Structure 1
């Protein structure tokens, strides 16, 4: 009778030991996979920070140019809107700087570069008048947004680089 228990114990060991080894291997794989995911996430965040730093530096340059009137409001708002929309670590900026986006929304349908050259002179003048009227209507609000945007971009740069 005792021999039967030993036989069952030996059979159980032949089953349990390989299962334990297999479980250990799976746990080891899981640990490696988790570590690799953490490294990949860190690399992704670093890439996003690098991208946003580059964009925010460009925003600061454009904002300064707009403040010093070296850049037209419409061109600055166009560029700022596109840059701000490309930020990876920030969102909902159209609600923080509504006037910048309002001007951009008002002029984004207008042709530029070669497409603009194809227009007749009266068509260009009509679009220029539309753009200038929109700029005049939004000028003071845009200037406020630009001031706030400069502060926002500077603060975000210091947070990202920290």
Structure 2
């Protein structure tokens, strides 16, 4: 064999080895990126779960207080609606608990705290009447929702605290 072909084969072998080394290096980088993405996704899910656990703990507390009549239904529904709407891992809860969200929708535009103090006596009475009418209309539905929400919340808390 001539020296030319020997050098050509040697050069081709070196090129193949260099390309194989480069391909191996790229495959290792891809594997590292996938592992990092997986780690990031797990961390994000854990952060979402931690947030939702905190929300569910508060929901459970308010639900119990409402069931034991330690919290007014209008205030409780307001707080529950805001808390449940802030959940990161669940949606479509207004359809699941229509009584709670229905009362919130009925009273959310009424004045509270300092805004209520600026109302005239007639306006306050009108808003109180609106609030009481909405509460009376939805009372039974809210009581049913509270039982279902308590069960739902305890299930979600056990899901969030049980390792996957």
SS across alignment from 2:88 = coil
2:155 corresponds in structure 1 to: 155
Using the TM superposition, give the Cα deviation of residue 50 of structure 1 relative to its aligned residue in structure 2, in angstroms: 0.9
1:117 corresponds in structure 2 to: 117
1:98 aligns with 2:108: no
Using the TM superposition, give the Cα deviation of residue 2 of structure 1 relative to its aligned residue in structure 2, in angstroms: 3.7
| TM norm structure 2 | 0.93
Deviations 1:78-119 (A, max 9, x none): 100111111112111111101111111111111222222111
CA RMSD of superposed structures (Å):
1.2
SS across alignment from 1:44 = helix
Using the TM superposition, give the Cα deviation of residue 5 of structure 1 relative to its aligned residue in structure 2, in angstroms: 2.4
Using the TM superposition, give the Cα deviation of residue 10 of structure 1 relative to its aligned residue in structure 2, in angstroms: 1.7
Unmatched 5+ stretches in structure 1 = none
1:143 corresponds in structure 2 to: 143
Unmatched 5+ stretches in structure 2 = none
SS across alignment from 1:99 = helix
Deviations 1:32-82 (A, max 9, x none): 111111111111111111111111110111001111111111111110011
Distance 1:20 1:112 in 2: 71
Distance 1:102 1:147 in 2: 16
Query: Which shifted more, 132-141 or 39-48?
Result: 39-48
Query: Which shifted more, 98-107 or 117-126?
Result: 117-126
Distance 1:114 1:27 in 2: 63
